[in-house]
Each structure stands twice: as structure tokens, then as C-alpha cells.
Amino acid sequence: MILIYLNSQSLFIDEFLTLSELLKNQGYISTHYAVALNQYFIKKTQYDKIILNHHDRVDIIRPMQGG
């Protein structure tokens, strides 16, 4: 198991889990979000290719009101 942070919450996950698998396991099935990994934007097309590492920080980004 490795420790990652999903939306700042600590989470233990299996080793060699892809970003795509993490999102699916955590119920992120809609398309209305973007993802930042360690504060860098990750394109949707890359989710399958990224294997998560110890202490990675995954943030789900959603639309909000703005001026």
C-alpha cells in the first residue's frame, strides 16, 4: 500500500494503481471535473497512463462562480 492525498484527505491505495483506476474507485464517473496531480494539470487522455506514487497529491477541480 502507498499513501496519497485525494483532495487533501489521506488515502491508502494499492501500489501501481493508475490515476484512472483511482478516480473510478472513488466514484468520479462524471466528466465535469479536471484533475491536478501535485498541482499540475493532467489531461483526461493521460489518466490511464499515470501510475500513482507515494505522497502524490490528487486534486479534483470543479467549476465554480467567478468574477
Partner 1 sequence: MWTLADQLISSRFILGTAQYPSLDILCEAVIASKTNIITTSLKRQLQPSPHENLFWNTLKKLNCLVLPNTAGCRHAIEAVNMAEMARELFQTHWIKLEVVGDDYNLQPDVFELIKAAKLLIKNGFEVFPYCTDDLVLCQRLVDCGCRILMPWVSPIGSGKGILNPYALETLRTRLPDITLIVDAGIGKPSHATQAMEMGMDGVLLNTAVSSATNPIKMATAFRDAIIAGRTAHEAGLMSERNVAHPSTVLLDTPFWHGEK
Chain residues binding partner 1 by CB under 8 A are 7-8, 27, 30, 32-34, 36, 39-41, 43-44, 59-67
Minimum distance of partner 1 from residue 51's CB (angstroms): 21
Which residue, 51 or 60, has its beta carbon nearer to partner 1? Answer: 60
Indicate the SS3 state at residue 22.
Answer: helix
Minimum distance of partner 1 from residue 37's CB (angstroms): 11
The Cα-based distances of 1 to 21, 49, 60, 64 in angstroms read 15, 19, 22, 34
User: Do the Cβ atoms of 13 and 42 come closer than 8 Å?
Assistant: no
